[in-house]
Amino acid sequence: MEFFFSPKSVAVIGASSNPFKGGNFILKNLINTFKGNIYPVNPKYKTMEGLPCYPSTQEIPGSVDAAIIFVPAREVPRAVSDCAAKNIPGVIIESAGFAEIGAEGVELQNKLLEIKQKTGIRLWGPNCMGLVDGVKGHVFSFMAPEAIKDGLIPGHVSLIVQSGMLSGGFLMDIVSNRITGINKVCSVGNKIDVDECDLIEYMEQDAQTKVIGLYLESIVDGRRFVGLCRKSSKPIVVLKGGKSASGAQAAISHTAALAGNNRIIEGALSQAGVTEAHDFKQMVDLCRCLAVHPRRPDGHGQVAILTSSGGAGIMATDFVEQYKLSLAKFGPSTIKSLEKIFPNWMPVNNPVDIWPAIEASMGKGIDVYKNALNALLSDTGVDAILLCGFAGNATVLFDMAEIAKKSSISGKPIFIWLFGLRDAAFEAQTQAREHGVPLFQELERAVECLSAVIHQKERYEFSAVKVEAASREMVPDDTLKVIKTAHGPLDEHTSKKILQAYGIPVVEEKTAKTLEECMLAAHKLGYPLVMKGILTGTVHKTEKGLVRLNITDNNVAEITFTHLMSLMNQNGFVLLQKQIEGKAEIILGMLQDPHFGPAVMMGVGGFMAEIFSQSVFAVAPMTKADALHLMERFPAKKLLEGFRNSPPVDKDKFSEFLIALGTIGFSHPQIKEIDINPVIISSSGPCAVDATIILD
């Protein structure tokens, strides 16, 4: 990958002398920013922009480290073949007209893959805007030179952007607003070869990169992506596009329906310790803050608000609570220090409104703001500080260099919300960027980014999780044969035999095909009972009237058996189960995702599962920490904690069930879905009372 980022020579195939064409933009950007050898390639010209122009790649003298291709799509395969013959290790294909346009483009893209497989040449793109390096100053892109005439701002944020035009938009926004310094911006387009995983690996080793931001419309290799994110020593922020599409309309199980199009991705990102963004500028703001504070600060998110406006303090308090932070409670020494500068009538509170103190101290030579800030920084109960101010107010001036120094010495993030006069705000923003102080003109965004810094998640190695294929010997041979040979949904009884073999507790039950078998089973189980009609291929039994609760005696059992068999036209069988009492119902599941592999799901159970859609996912294999984190992310986690006098779940034990679901998915990849609905939380622990396993 180094030949893309640090080449000594670059060929431009499709260079143009027309000042309105992209081939000319690429060449001019190279001339303006690249100090190595530049070789325009176009058979129509002898020279171009003062450089010798070559009719073909083969005729370039000496070696070439990288090439940028910008010719019509149909000519790209030949251009790539020429580059391979010239032993150019990598090409950036900025031409469009490939898989994004349909079948014809797919065919061209497949030709490029064939060339890559034969020659080993690395392909970046196609349909992309290439690479921009803010530290080295390189612009390997067809973006208009005028857009970056003011120069790139070097920094420590590296961006990987799937959309070509969007990456250009990012750059123009960053350059013109002068808010964020960048290291690298990589537009990857169709990701025929070089993808986000390759670039994350490179950025991880890049000393200039402190945080990695990604805008992705697809994730090529979900498992590799999660593994890299978990192992990364640097914060990673992801904005995932295309999440609003609904799940499969014909989803058989609740698990598949609840996965939708994005739940598994959300779960995987959270599990990997990634910070997820939901908007473009938000992503950049999160990145610039995490570049300044790439490690989670000590403490529990206790924030002190220092403001010269009471109203700003009230609004800031609301946002602090919204983003799961809390107001710090000051220690005695802090209170005493603040009392010295406050008017006698004013109590010390958080937010710390210093305006009355400023008015009272005018003409006395007391720097109220600085004294208050020092007092808050000295308080061991304060983990971070939010400063609220007005740009253009000569009474309270923020010295960005001093703020950066104090934040570094104390180890406490100091964030600033500043609004007011445009020119003063812009100057303050520039100074803040130069000194690494997070400053915002939107109060909510300031608190949101502070929360992201404080709530940074731990990352740990995905590869450290090993799935044992044990427990296979515990699965009866006849059940293993069913898994290997059957297709579609298995009946509930068979499904639960598989779950039980992997240590997942299931309700005590017996099967009956005759009335005599039914009455014998009822006698052995004891009342009250649940009776279900089991019909091959039927998943949602309740909707078909095949579930009966509160069977209390022999007479009711006999009538119910006869009725259920009648509904099934004497096909299938009846399942008798010991009725489990419990107030809380959970749904658990496993789904084989095409990009992430087995993913484990937890949601609100029972017939309300899809109505409330309170589900979370985690990628398997899972560690105990993964399972506990999944429970913590569960929106209805109160159900696990003893809701309305229901017994709390033993989370350590429950984590074993979640891990087991992932293990089943790995041990038997032919299992497409598992749906356990509900798991009833009873006094004796969680118990699966209904389940469906669906095979390919």
Reply yes or no on whether the pLDDT at 585 is more than 60.
yes
Residue-level pLDDT at 432: 94
pLDDT of residue 468: 47
Kindly report, residue by residue over 126-140, the tens digit of the pLDDT. 999 999 999 999 999
> Span 568-588, mean pLDDT?
90
What does the pLDDT read at residue 164?
A: 62
Q: What is the reported pLDDT for 397?
A: 83
In the prediction, which pLDDT does 681 show?
Answer: 86
What pLDDT score does 248 carry? 39
Q: How far, in Å, CA of 136 to CA of 546, rounded?
A: 69
Specify the range with the lowest mean pLDDT, choosing from 144-148, 311-315, 339-343, 356-360: 144-148
Is the pLDDT assigned to residue 685 strictly greater than 90? no
Q: Which of 206-215, 464-473, 481-490 ranks highest by mean pLDDT?
A: 206-215
Peptide bond into 19 cis (omega under 30): no
38-42, 455-459, 627-631 — which one is most confidently predicted on average? 38-42
Residue 447 pLDDT exceeds 70: yes
Instruction: Output the pLDDT for position 608.
Output: 54
pLDDT of residue 151: 72
In this prediction, residues 433-449 reach a mean pLDDT of 96
Q: Which pLDDT score, from 0 to 100, does residue 382 have?
A: 97
Mean pLDDT, rounded, for 402-415: 96
State how far the Cα of 168 lies from the Cα of 174, in Å rounded to an integer.
10
Structural element, H or E, at residue 381: none
Tokens of 437: 């102080």
- pLDDT band at 537, cuts 50/70/90? confident
pLDDT at 246: 47
Which pLDDT tens digit goes with each residue over 254-281?
Answer: 555 555 557 888 899 998 889 999 988 8
- The pLDDT of residue 614 is above 90: no
Conformation bin of residue 569: beta by default, left when phi > 0, alpha when psi is -120 to 50: left
Place 364 in a pLDDT band, splitting at 50, 70 and 90: confident
Position 249 confidence tier, pLDDT thresholds 50, 70, 90 = very low
Whether residue 195 is predicted with pLDDT greater than 60 in this model: the reply is: yes
Residues 6 or more apart whose Cβ sits within 8 Å of residue 102: none
- The pLDDT assigned to 217 comes to 86
What is the four-CA torsion angle of 416, 421, 426, 428, rounded to 10 degrees? -40
Give the model's confidence band at 207: pLDDT under 50 very low, under 70 low, under 90 confident, else very high.
Answer: very high
**Range picked from 303-307, 341-345, 418-422 for highest mean pLDDT:** 303-307
**DSSP letter for each residue of 564-612:** HHHHTTT-SEEEEEEPPP-SEEEEEEEEEETTTEEEEEEEE-GGGHHHH
Give the pLDDT confidence of 113-129 residue by residue, as tens digits: 999 999 999 999 999 99
Residue 470: predicted pLDDT = 41
pTM of the model: 0.88
pLDDT category at 153 given cuts 50, 70, 90 is confident
pLDDT for 165: 65
Instruction: Find, among 620, 631, 599, 264, the residue nearest to 465 by Cα.
Output: 620
Given pLDDT bands bounded at 50, 70 and 90, which one contains residue 352?
Answer: very high
- CA 55 to CA 40: how far, in whole Å? 9
Contact assessment for residue 305 and residue 354, using Cβ atoms and an 8 Å cutoff: no
- Span 376-405, average pLDDT: 91
Q: Has residue 636 got a pLDDT over 90?
A: no
Lowest-pLDDT range of 43-52, 84-93, 498-507, 633-642: 633-642
The share of the chain scoring above pLDDT 90, in percent, equals 68
Rounded mean pLDDT of 227-246?
Answer: 83
Spell out the domains of the chain, with CATH numbers in brackets: 1-127 (3.40.50.720), 129-295 (3.40.50.261), 300-439 (3.40.50.261), 508-578 (3.30.1490.20), 584-695 (3.30.470.20)
Please, what is the average pLDDT of the chain?
89
When pLDDT is averaged across residues 279-296 and rounded to a whole number, the result is 93
Answer whether the bond into residue 343 is a cis peptide, omega within 30°.
Answer: no
Provide the pLDDT for residue 542.
78
State the amino acid at position 46 in one-letter form.
K
User: What is the average per-residue pLDDT within 446-473?
Assistant: 68
Q: How confident is the model at residue 462 (pLDDT cuts 50, 70, 90)?
A: very low
